[in-house]
Amino acid sequence: MYHPVLRQKWDVIIDADRCKGCEICVNACPQQNLELSKSINGLGYHYVEFNFHGKRGDCTGCNICYTVCPDYSILEVVSGEEAANGS
C-alpha cells in the first residue's frame, strides 16, 4: 500500500536572540502555530517558537506573524520546499 509522505508546507524563521517575547505574533496567528519557549534568550526573554501543527491547524503561510512583529524577530515565512532546499 502506498503512503504519501506529508511535508511541512511552511516554515517560520525566527531570530530567537532578537525576540522580546511580546506575544503580539502569538496572539495574531490564526492557526495558533506560535508559542513562547520555556527557555530564555541572551536578552533574558522567553522567545517565540514555531510549530507547523498549530492548535487550530497547520500553518497556512499567511505572513501575519511577520507583519506584526515589532522587533523584526520573524525573519521570513518560507514554503517548506524552499526551507528544505536551503533557499
Q: The C-alpha cell of 5 is what?
A: 509522505
pLDDT tens for each residue of 50-71? 998 889 989 999 999 999 999 9
Q: Does any domain span residue 53?
A: yes
CA of residue 65 relative to chain centroid, distance: 8
DSSP class of 53: B
Q: Does any domain span residue 61?
A: yes
Question: Which pLDDT does position 73 carry in this prediction?
Answer: 96
Q: Does any domain span residue 3?
A: no
Range(s) of the domain holding residue 48: 10-78
Strands (E) in the chain, as ranges, are 10-14, 34-40, 46-50, 74-79
> Helix, strand, or coil here: 64?
helix
The CATH number of the domain holding residue 38 is 3.30.70.20
User: Domains in the chain: how many in total?
Assistant: 1
pTM of this structure? 0.81
Q: Does any domain span residue 5?
A: no
pLDDT tens for each residue of 7-37? 678 999 999 999 999 999 999 999 999 999 9
Burial 19-49 (b: 16+ CB within 10 A, else e): bbbbebbbeebebebbbbeeeebeeebbbbb
